[in-house]
């Protein structure tokens, strides 16, 4: 079996853009017409350029290779251009290609990928969602604790037992910083009112995006502890695990992080620093499924749990499910609400979500197929990136 062809898709995600403004998918095809799909997460270039990058890497390192030889291809791409220390751009590209190879391997074997990575451990996977804005909201649910509490009660009725929210204010290219007293007060009011709304029926997941210095994060954590969040997410920027570890040592709230890290090497530094109780690898960036499985095993040694990150499309979501199903130290899975709406329409058969849990598929490979007839009607023509930070300091 040899990889013989590639096709890429840049799909615009219509409003309200849950999961980002667009998704970058790839399809690999073998000489026996077996197809595999993958997805790259949040590569910081025009997505059409990212598609060309994926095609370039395929031509250099994957064409005419056996998709089973993932370790060999991974090392060649990882070392491309005499680097052996590639940035998140190449790792996002590699992740999409590696994921598609695993989809082919699973289809060829007639097995879901989790059966090939150690076998199924979990029959169902607990999931959480962000508390999302909705068209017609009277205020901004990301800044209004009253509306957030109302929406939390709605999610609870749907079956969710964990909810994430990020009220700490904007994040910028100049973080970390000390939050203002008003920002701290809003964070505390969110936790208080959400805890009152859900009681003990749901965990609260306090999200941030590296807005704070370690000192600022410790200052906030002390105020949040009475409401017992399940985690305090990425409180400081991702480039200094030693600073993250200062926060971990100073609070009783478990630290979760990892969406902006890639490879076992980044996560090794994080784990050696004792910086996290929960790691959140994104399979469209971390280096793919096998790399994520290695990281999960490294974390297992230290009794650290995994909670795969998702803020993109359902192909990464499907890969997360495969990893979670075969990982003993799996904690919880990020969902985009209930995997309905546009995320379901992208696929020929939607991801199965039932009363707060994802049910791992038994179909071979990733267990999903792109609906190419549908996505061709949603090209992305904007010039904004998947996610963007404020480009001026936040005072």
Summarize pLDDT for 223-276 with one digit per residue, the tens: 999 999 999 999 999 999 999 999 999 999 999 999 999 999 999 999 999 999
Give rounded-to-5 percent helix, strand, coil for the chain: 40, 15, 45
Q: List the alpha helices (DSSP H) in 228-288.
A: 241-250, 263-272
State phi, psi for 50 to the nearest 5 degrees.
-60, -40
- Give the model's pLDDT for residue 307: 98
- Give the model's pLDDT for residue 395: 79
State phi, psi for 203 to the nearest 5 degrees.
-80, 145
Count CA within 13 A, CB hemisphere, residue 341: 14
User: Which residues, in sequence order, are CB contacts of 266 under 8 Å at separation 6+?
Assistant: none
- Give the model's pLDDT for residue 61: 98
- Residue 240: exposed, middle, or buried by beta-carbon count in 10 A (0-12, 13-18, 19+)? middle
User: Which residues, in sequence order, are CB contacts of 254 under 8 Å at separation 6+?
Assistant: 230, 231, 232, 277, 278
User: Which residues, in sequence order, are CB contacts of 307 under 8 Å at separation 6+?
Assistant: 231, 256, 278, 279, 280, 330, 331, 332, 333, 334
Cis ω for the linkage preceding 338 (within 30 of 0): no
334 vs 65, 112, 129, 321, CA distance in Å? Answer: 33, 20, 6, 10
Q: What percent of the chain has pLDDT over 90?
A: 98
Q: Is the pLDDT of residue 86 over 90?
A: no
Contact between 211 and 168 under an 8 Å Cβ cutoff? The reply is: yes
Mean pLDDT for the stretch of residues 372-382: 97
- Sketch out the chain's domains with CATH numbers: 3-110 (3.30.390.10), 115-366 (3.20.20.120)
Q: Length of the chain, please?
A: 395
Mean pLDDT for the stretch of residues 61-73: 98
Q: Is the pTM of this model over 0.85?
A: yes
- Residue 314: exposed, middle, or buried by beta-carbon count in 10 A (0-12, 13-18, 19+)? buried
Summarize pLDDT for 38-60 with one digit per residue, the tens: 999 999 999 999 999 999 999 99
**What tokens appear for 388 in the block?**
């963007």
Average pLDDT value over all residues in the chain: 97
Strand runs labelled E in 188-313: 203-207, 231-233, 255-257, 278-279, 305-306
């Amino acid at each position: 079996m040899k990889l013989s062809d590639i096709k890429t898709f840049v799909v615009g995600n219509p409003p309200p853009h849950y999961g980002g403004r667009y998704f970058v998918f790839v399809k690999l095809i073998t000489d026996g017409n077996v197809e595999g799909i993958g997805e790259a997460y949040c590569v910081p270039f025009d997505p059409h350029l990212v598609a060309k990058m994926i095609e370039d890497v395929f031509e250099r390192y994957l064409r005419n290779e056996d998709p089973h030889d993932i370790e060999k291809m991974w090392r060649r791409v990882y070392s491309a251009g005499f680097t052996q220390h590639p940035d998140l751009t190449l790792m996002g590209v590699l992740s999409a290609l590696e994921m598609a190879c695993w989809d082919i391997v699973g289809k060829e074997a007639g097995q879901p990928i989790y059966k090939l990575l150690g076998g199924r451990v979990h029959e169902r996977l607990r999931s959480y969602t962000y508390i999302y804005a909705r068209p017609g909201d009277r205020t901004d649910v990301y800044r209004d604790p009253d509306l957030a509490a109302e929406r939390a009660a709605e999610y609870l009725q749907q079956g969710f037992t964990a909810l994430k929210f990020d009220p700490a204010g904007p994040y910028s290219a100049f973080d970390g910083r000390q939050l203002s007293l008003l920002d701290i007060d809003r964070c505390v009011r969110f936790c208080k009112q959400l805890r009152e709304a859900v009681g003990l029926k749901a965990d609260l997941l306090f999200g941030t995006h590296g807005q704070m210095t370690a000192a600022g994060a410790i200052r906030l954590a002390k105020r949040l502890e009475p409401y017992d969040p399940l985690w305090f997410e990425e409180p400081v920027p991702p480039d200094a695990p030693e600073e993250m570890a200062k926060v971990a040592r100073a609070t009783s709230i478990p630290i979760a992080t990892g969406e902006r890290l890639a490879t076992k090497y980044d996560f090794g530094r994080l784990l050696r620093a004792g910086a996290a109780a929960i790691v959140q690898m994104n399979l469209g960036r971390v280096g793919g499924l096998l790399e994520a499985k290695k990281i999960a095993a490294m974390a297992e040694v230290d009794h650290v749990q995994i909670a795969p990150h998702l803020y993109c499309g359902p192909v990464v979501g499907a890969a997360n499910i495969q990893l979670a199903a075969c990982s003993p130290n799996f904690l919880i899975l990020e969902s985009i609400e209930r995997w309905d709406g546009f995320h379901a329409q992208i696929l020929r058969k939607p991801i199965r979500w039932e009363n707060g849990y994802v049910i791992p598929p038994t179909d071979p490979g990733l267990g999903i197929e792109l609906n190419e007839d549908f996505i061709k009607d949603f090209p992305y023509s904007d010039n904004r990136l998947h996610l963007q930070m404020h480009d001026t300091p936040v005072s």
